[in-house]
Amino acid sequence: MLNRRTALLAGLALPALQRTAWAADPIKIGMTQPLTGAVAASGNYVANGAKIAVEVLNRAGGVLGRPLELILEDNKSNPREAVAAVDKLVLRDRVPVLIGAWSSTYTLAIMPKLLEYKVPMVVETSSASRITTSGNPYVFRIAPTSAMEAVAFSTQLGKFTPAMRKVDFLSVNNDFGRGAAEKFSEALAAKGVTIGRTETMTPEATDLSAQLAALKQSDADTIFLTTGVEQQTLALRQAVEQRLGKRFVTTGGSFPDALIANPLPAGNTSFHILFYAPWFPERAPYPAIAEAYTAEWNKNNWEFAGLTEGFRGYDAVLTVVEAIRLAGKPEAEAIREALWKVDIHGVNGDIRFAKEGPAGQESGQNQPNVAIVTLSEGKTGLL
Amino acid sequence: MSAVFGWLFVAAMAAVPVVFPDPYVLSVLTSAGIFIIGAISLNLLLGYTGQLSLGHAAFFGLGAYASALVSLGFDIGIGFGLRLRLDPQPVFVGFLAGIAVAGAFGWLLGRLAFRVRGAYFVVITICFAQVLRMVALNWVELTQGPMALIGIPPASLWLPGQGVVPLYTKPQSFWLVLGVGTLAFLLVRQVVQSRIGRALVALRENETLARSVGIRVTHYLVIATVLSAGIAGAAGSLFAHYVRIIDPDVFLFIYTVTMVIMVITGGKGTLWGPVVGGLIFGLMPDLLRGSAPPEAQWIAYGVLMILLVMFLPRGIVPAVAGLLPARRRPAPAIAAMVEPAP
Amino acid sequence: MDQALQHLVNGTVLGGTYALLGIGLTLIFGVMRVVNFTHGELYTFGAYMAYGLVALLHVDFFLSLVLATMLGLALGALIELVLLRPMRKADIDSVMLVMIGAALVLQNAGLWAWGGVAKLVPTPFAGTPLVFGPVSVLPLRLFVLGVAATLLLVFWLLLERTRAGIAMRATFQDAETASLMGVRVGWVHTATFAIGSGLAAAAGALLGPVFMVSPAMGDLVGLKAFAIVILGGLGNLPGAVIGGFALGYVEEFGGGFVSSEYRDAFGFLLIILVLAIRPQGLVALKERVG
């Protein structure tokens, strides 16, 4: 009798005790983003998206009965700092799962560390193909590759008038920019478009007159612009000054929101490939989720156009937390296993991972959705 | 006495991985150790020759890039349809290459910059690092530019009976850095206590006088620069194989400034100054992390640097040593540390 | 040829602001023997003040430029009084280290206050370029060039025609004799540092709206200012103007015709070339022991 009662009490008390221990001890999610430096605007948007996802989930009771804690580490728009950030997150904060690192260059730099520390990472933005094809089983990418983006874009070529005949590229000189130029060349060439020249710029360059002067000499009708929002803004403004008179299409899902408040002169329409168009949440695959995210963002009075990239952080946190729930415990290996089972609705659409890369050590890759937004005199439209 | 104290310090540091096997503590100490080696080399120029060389990150970065490239191998066009190709070499070859390349550039900079003095010298050394950063950023075929050199192999050591052993673990990296650091310290001590060191101090104190008694000023300055650059190159090489990624930002002025702050705080022209300053500034960012944002920390470093130069221009080590002799005159351990040269 | 003309125009506009930057730095060195590492930070400060006034407080654009310059002037005076005045007797290297410390404080205070994200400064100028034959230029850039030229002229008049200017030039040539002649060298130093800083802030406030405003914008610009004054000779005022335009043209033509990627490196390569071929420099001064 006594034995049974004690056992019963112990059985009741133990989980309760554990729960109190848990409540004081949140589950950590590590994230590294460029919060300062050349591509800081995008990094801050993504970080904000992740913050509100954590707030929303914590209000709903966290996961496994424990609250979530987002530990954010600045990678200063630099690949080496990205590695240092991951060292701190894993070795010091002991996070069981990571989200990062915006630019492909930073993500590629981090990847050997994931193998060394055996911690999975959800890649929210980076687009270079080799991130998921190099055989790193700790990488799970919810962002589209440049190749996916290019193919999805090329199916919408018919919407452009006059039609695209020849294209040039203006790319930031890193994996992101070069990869996009390569994959868009392939996809567009397959559709019969002539491929012209590629000009590159260093990530922190502000005066792009030399590159633009060279592109002006070309007979291409369209320029694909791949870089962070800061340089997108500079390039579009300086192109007007140099009278390029060509169509600009930005790739990668970033949006030069400064051009809404400070528009280009009339007659300059730019095109932007986005993965979430916040002006049209009803057109998102799951409008209710998109609207909830948008409402939460607006509560903080953040830059509206930042929603275009903030969703990456939001969706990444949803993905990670679902994996933790499925794993049943906040441990790196269990979360990695569970990420393969994730099947949820995010702002961008369905999130589930397909295997990519060499057999036995595949990385996960999600199939995302693409929208083309036009910007003219500070007003946006959907192409 | 000095030697005893020094070896005790080395032994205490060597015991750290055994006593605190925490990988985070070790990674912080290893990074700090690498920058201390950089500061030791900078001290040779800044402290003993009195030349404010503000391009030191150039040698650090050159060592890092040279060592990484030699151990990764490269295949580049060098114009006229010719190609230069190098197969991946063992890491110790890269390490030596890092020292050699940094030393060679030290000679070049010495030849170039010591034609002038004062403000001109300072500005030229800064520009030198800047040009190298531009080259690293834009010579993509060789350096991968802003994409950074990734997948750099870890340092390795040849051990009798075991062949070449890669140093993957944190304690191994830490011991390697400690070993190289000790060698660098001993080398600098040897140099400043030699004929060269006496010549350098003579010309620091009074260049015109040194010249008039027949000291070949530029000759000795160039020797000091080559040595200093070589040690900085060794530090850069350790850095490359430890963090295993190198990007053009290693040439940034802020890295030079970090080393300068270490030397000034500890005490320029003293052997232990860079070690003390390096430990303080190498560990502080991690101790303060969480309690103060990085911007606030850097503001504090800036203020500290101003206050030190204004009120404690000789640095911590001489100040502490200055307190000690009051007890009893012979405190040779500290005195020997403080004495720039006999 | 069309392209060359366009580069000529761009280079001139760039050179004007470089000259402003260079003249401030060289004046401070000439009068005070101080290598001013805060110069790039004052440039950033001017740009952020312009941004804050125009975009956040909605002050008139032109008034904001004037105010930003005045604030730069005030900050410069403050730095001189707090940091440099107590260091009057110190050697040149110690003063340099103090200025590096000050630059660290200013840059990180800026980062803390404004955040790491680059900002765009709204301007009342049309975004449509003015077209002259094959050449096009934004009205804003022409305005920037005009203001830069005016500031250079005003500065020259101040130096040549006013009592303060005469005192400054006297100190420039021989501080001891000047002080014997009744020049209050301390105040000349404060005025000099304030004016030099004001010119840097003006350059930042002018160029900020042309590009974007970010916390690290002063890093490269500060180093370029050194390049300019080395080209023209440290402490040589007309040299700084020549150096400024030389750097503007070298960057623009080098970037356009040689390699756009190495654009920022040309100035630094030029210095190393000048020193390798002509070690005494374009203008020899007594600092150059050789």
Measured distance CA(B235)–CA(B242) in Å, rounded: 10
Cβ–Cβ below 8 Å for A108 and B247:
no
Considering only B71-80, B93-102, B114-123, which range has the smallest mean pLDDT?
B114-123
Residues of C numbered 95-154 whose beta carbons fall under 8 angstroms of chain B's beta carbons: which are they? 96-98, 100-105, 107-109, 111-112
DSSP C56: I
CB contact under 8 A, C127 and A233: no
Answer yes or no: do A354 and A375 share one domain.
no
Q: CB-based contact (8 Å) between B209 and chain C?
A: no
Give the pLDDT band of residue B286 (cuts 50, 70, 90): confident
Of B27, B137, B145, the CB nearest to A91: B27
Cβ-contact C244, C16 below 8 angstroms: yes
Task: Quote the pLDDT of residue C39.
Answer: 94
How many Cα neighbours within 13 Å face the side chain of B264?
28
Query: Nearest CA to A136 among A157, A109, A155?
Result: A109
Q: Is residue A1 part of a domain?
A: no
Give the distance from residue A342's alpha carbon to the nearest chain B alpha carbon, in angstroms.
31
pLDDT greater than 70 at residue A17: no
* Chain C residue nearest residue B121, CA to CA: C288
Buried b (16+ CB within 10 A) or exposed e, A80-106: bbbbbbbbbbbbbeebbbbbbbbbbbb
Q: How many CB atoms lie within 10 A of CB B80?
A: 5
| Chain position carrying tokens 């490359």 | B240
**Of C262 and A361, the one with more pLDDT:** A361
Residue contact B257–C104, C-beta within 8 A: yes
User: Residues A116-143: pLDDT tens digits?
Assistant: 899 999 999 998 888 998 889 999 999 9
pLDDT digits (tens, 9 = 90+) for B323-341: 765 544 444 443 444 444 4
Residue A277 CA to chain centroid, in angstroms? 14
Closest CA to A65 of A27, A120, A111: A27
A312, β-bridge pairs: none
The pLDDT, as a whole number, for residue B25 is 86
Same domain, yes or no: A80 and A137: yes
Considering only CA atoms, which of A110, A135, B192, A113 is closest in space to residue A124? Answer: A110
Give the Cα separation of C99 and C82 in Å (integer).
12
User: Is residue A13 predicted with pLDDT exceeding 50?
Assistant: no
Question: Taking the CB of residue C133, how many other CB atoms lie within 10 A of it?
Answer: 7
Task: State mean pLDDT over B62-88.
Answer: 89
Cβ contact B59:B98 at 8 Å: no
* Chain C residues close to A200, C-beta within 8 Å: 261
A261 has pLDDT over 70:
yes
Q: What tens digit of pLDDT does each residue of A91-113 get?
A: 989 999 999 899 998 999 999 89
pLDDT at A5: 44
Residues present in chain B in total: 342
Q: What is the pLDDT of residues B11-20, one digit of tens each?
A: 988 888 888 8
Taking a C-beta distance cutoff of 8 angstroms, is the pair C234, C29 a contact? yes
Of B50, B122, B310, the CB nearest to C86: B310
Which chain A residues are within 8 Å of C131, Cβ to Cβ?
Answer: 243
C-alpha B238/C-alpha B234 separation (Å) is 6
Q: Which of A330-344, B61-75, C133-147, C259-273 has the lowest mean pLDDT?
A: C259-273
CA distance C83 to chain B (A): 8
Q: What does the DSSP assignment read for B41-91?
A: HHHIIIIII------HHHHHHHHHHHHHHHHH-EEEE-STT-EEEE----H
Interchain contact, A36 vs C111, CB within 8 Å? yes
In the structure, what pLDDT confidence band is assigned to residue A6 with cuts at 50, 70 and 90? very low
Could you read off the pLDDT of C100-137 as tens digits, one per residue?
A: 999 999 999 998 899 888 888 999 988 888 888 888 88
| Number of domains present in the structure of chain B | 1
Q: Which chain A residues are closer than 8 Å to C214 by Cβ?
A: 40, 230
Nearest CA among A264, A296, A290, A265 for reference residue A371: A290
**What's the gap between Cα A310 and its chain centre?**
8
- Cβ–Cβ of B302/C101 closer than 8 Å? yes
Closest residue in B to C86 (Cα) is: B310
Report CA torsion sign: C44, C46, C49, C50. negative
Q: What are the CB-based long-range contacts (under 8 Å, 24+) for B316-321?
A: B316/B265, B316/B266, B316/B267, B316/B273, B316/B276, B316/B277, B316/B280, B317/B266, B317/B267, B317/B270, B317/B272, B317/B273, B317/B276, B318/B267, B318/B270, B318/B273, B319/B267
Q: What is the CATH number of the domain that holds A86?
A: 3.40.50.2300
| CB pair distance less than 8 Å for C104 and B298 | yes
Instruction: Quote the pLDDT of residue A25.
Output: 87
Is C269 an 8 Å CB contact of chain B?
yes
Closest CA to C38 of C88, C108, C90, C86: C108
Q: Which of A206, A227, A242, A376 to mutate to test the interface with C (most CBs of C within 10 A)?
A: A206
Res A23 pLDDT > 70: no
Contact state of B257 with C35 under an 8 Å Cβ cutoff: no
Name chain C contacts of B119, Cβ cutoff 8 Å.
29, 33, 35, 92, 234, 287
Whether residue A188 is found in the same domain as residue A270: yes
pLDDT confidence of residue B237:
96
Report d(CA B65, CA B60) in Å as an integer.
9
Query: How much of chain A, in percent, has pLDDT values that exceed 90?
Result: 57
Q: Where are the domains of chain C?
A: 19-217
Indicate whether A163 pLDDT > 60. yes
* Residues spanned by the domain of A109: 26-145+285-365
Which residues in chain B are contacts of C283 at CB distance < 8 A? none
Partner chains of B (3+ C-beta pairs under 8 Å): A, C
Beta-carbon contacts of C55 under 8 Å, excluding residues fewer than 6 positions away, are C119, C120, C121, C122
According to the model, what pLDDT value does residue C287 have? 43
Q: Is residue A50 part of a domain?
A: yes
- The alpha carbon dihedral of B111, B117, B123, B129 has a sign of positive
Least confident of A87-91, A143-147, C105-109, C269-273: C269-273
* pLDDT band (50, 70, 90) for residue A225: very high
N-terminal to C-terminal alpha carbon distance within chain C:
43
**Locate tokens 């089972």: which residue?**
A341
Residues of C in contact with B137 (CB under 8 A): 261
User: Which of C104, C228, C275 is the best mutation test for B, with the most CBs of B within 10 A?
Assistant: C104
Record the tokens describing residue C18, joined without a space: 């470089």
Cα distances from C129 to residues C69, C210, C248, in angstroms, run 27, 13, 21
Residue A206 pLDDT greater than 90, yes or no = no
Q: Which residue has the higher pLDDT, C168 or A290?
A: A290
User: Which B positions 233-272 lie with beta carbon below 8 A of chain C?
Assistant: 253, 257, 260, 264
Question: What is the pLDDT of chain C when averaged over all its residues?
Answer: 86
Omega prior to C74 cis, within 30 of 0: no
HSE on the CB side for C104, CA within 13 Å?
Answer: 27
Stretch 34-93 of chain C: residues touching chain B, C-beta under 8 Å: 35, 83, 86-87, 90, 92-93
Question: Do A102 and A76 share a structural domain?
Answer: yes
For residue B136, the one-letter residue type is: A
CB-CB contact of A202 with C261 (8 Å): yes
Q: Is the pLDDT of residue B229 over 90?
A: yes
- Shortest Cα distance from C226 to chain A (angstroms)? 19
Is A307 contained in some domain? yes
C112/B303 Cβ within 8 A: no
Distance from CA of B118 to the nearest CA of C (A): 7
- The CA-based angle B98-B99-B100, given to 5 degrees, is 90
3-state helix, strand, coil in chain B (%, to 5): 75, 5, 20
Q: Do A80 and B146 touch (CB under 8 A)?
A: no
What confidence tier does C281 reach under pLDDT thresholds 50, 70, 90? low
Interchain proximity A36–C118, CB inside 8 Å: no
- Judge whether B165 is closer than 8 Å to chain C, CB to CB: no
Domain count for chain A: 2
Q: Alpha helices of chain A — where are they, by DSSP H?
A: 2-23, 40-59, 79-87, 104-117, 130-133, 146-154, 175-190, 209-216, 229-241, 258-261, 287-299, 307-327, 332-339
- In the predicted model, what is the mean pLDDT of residues A179-200? 93
Q: Which domain holds residue B247?
A: 2-338
DSSP 8-state secondary structure symbol assigned to residue B234: H
- Bridge partners of A344, per DSSP, are A351
Residue B243: CA count within 13 A, CB half-sphere: 30
Are A291 and A241 in the same domain? Answer: no
Closest CA to A125 of A152, A97, A149: A149
pLDDT digits (tens, 9 = 90+) for A368-381: 788 899 999 888 88
Is a pLDDT exceeding 80 seen at residue A11? no
pLDDT score at C276: 67
**Residue B77 contacts residue C240 (beta carbons within 8 Å):** no
Residue B235 is which amino acid? A
Which residue of chain C has the CA closest to A267? C128
Q: Is residue A106 part of a domain?
A: yes
pLDDT at C165 over 50: yes
My answer on whether A293 and A267 are in the same domain is: no
Q: What angle do CA A63, A69, A71 make, to 5 degrees?
A: 140
pLDDT at C216: 84
Binning pLDDT at 50, 70 and 90, where does residue C275 land? low
Q: Does A7 score more than 50 pLDDT?
A: no
Q: Is the Cβ–Cβ distance between C241 and C23 less than 8 Å?
A: yes
Query: Cα–Cα–Cα angle for A208, A248, A262, nearest 5°?
Result: 70
